[in-house]
Structure 1
């Protein structure tokens, strides 16, 4: 584990629970100086534990009601170039290299099934893409979360 102590983990939990609370509020709740909270947050960013401050969003109210996971097989030695081409598709919101089935696991969104088919065809037609396999999400049951994991790390300390 990175160079973290219980204060770092407690701070992470607060940030995960209420990312908009601000440094002053984190310091107050942890009963530490504001400068301590600021330096600990900077340390967590430097260690790569905190990688961004983006809000978690449901894209359905923006008209993207279909979410899918797409396995993509890439031609040998074409990964980086193909990733560049994939990044130009706005509906592709995440791509991860994976072991197992395919080379990439991508998350795509679309307005409806017809639009999803269009986006999937764009992916299939990209140079470097050999094949794809898709799975449409019917309902998100558990949103991305970290608090249970932070609690586990804290209890293991």
Structure 2
């Protein structure tokens, strides 16, 4: 990976719908060369996919929480991910070091909706218990590169 590849990735992170001409302009390439480079980044797994970023505020999902998850036994990360992936309010989940097994970022309409979603997390067969904190305000919210 070189600086041209990095510029291509910055461009598609800013706007996944960028045209090859726009990507090429940002990276100093022709549109066909930008397409070849981007195709290679996808083929090697450096770019895993393209997505739309939804403004959850417009959906009315304004209540956020971070939930520590404690598992029963020792489930694999794959099994834990499968269980959590079935819950649409889970927008991000990671295994972590420390006493918790995983940290889950959740989003819901309101406290009642959040409570119902956390209950669904707790009902997953691999989950023993949870510990939640609710987000009061976002201080920094940067897109990832």
Match of 1:62 in 2: 59
Unaligned stretches of 5+ in structure 2? Answer: none
- How big is the alpha-carbon RMSD for the aligned residues of Structure 1 and Structure 2? 2.0
Measure, in 1, the Cα distance between the counterparts of 2:41 and 2:92. Answer: 23
Q: How does the TM-score come out when normalised to structure 1?
A: 0.79
Point out the structure with the larger helix share.
1
Query: Which of 70, 94, 97 is 1:96 aligned to?
Result: 94
How far residue 104 of structure 1 moved from its aligned partner, in angstroms, is 1.3
Query: Which of 111, 114, 130 is 2:112 aligned to?
Result: 114
Query: Which of 5, 11, 21 is 1:8 aligned to?
Result: 5
Q: Is the 8 A contact 2:16 2:51 kept in 1?
A: no
Higher relative contact order (CA 8 A, sep 6+): 1
Q: Is the 8 A contact 1:71 1:103 kept in 2?
A: yes
Unaligned stretches of 5+ in structure 1? Answer: 148-157
The structure-2 alpha-carbon separation of the partners of 1:31 and 1:144, relative to structure 1 and needing over 3 Å to count, comes to closer
Q: Is the 8 A contact 1:82 1:127 kept in 2?
A: no
Query: Could you say what secondary structure the match of 1:96 adopts?
Result: strand
Query: Could you say what secondary structure the match of 2:130 adopts?
Result: strand
Measure, in 1, the Cα distance between the counterparts of 2:84 and 2:15. Answer: 33
Q: How does the TM-score come out when normalised to structure 2?
A: 0.84
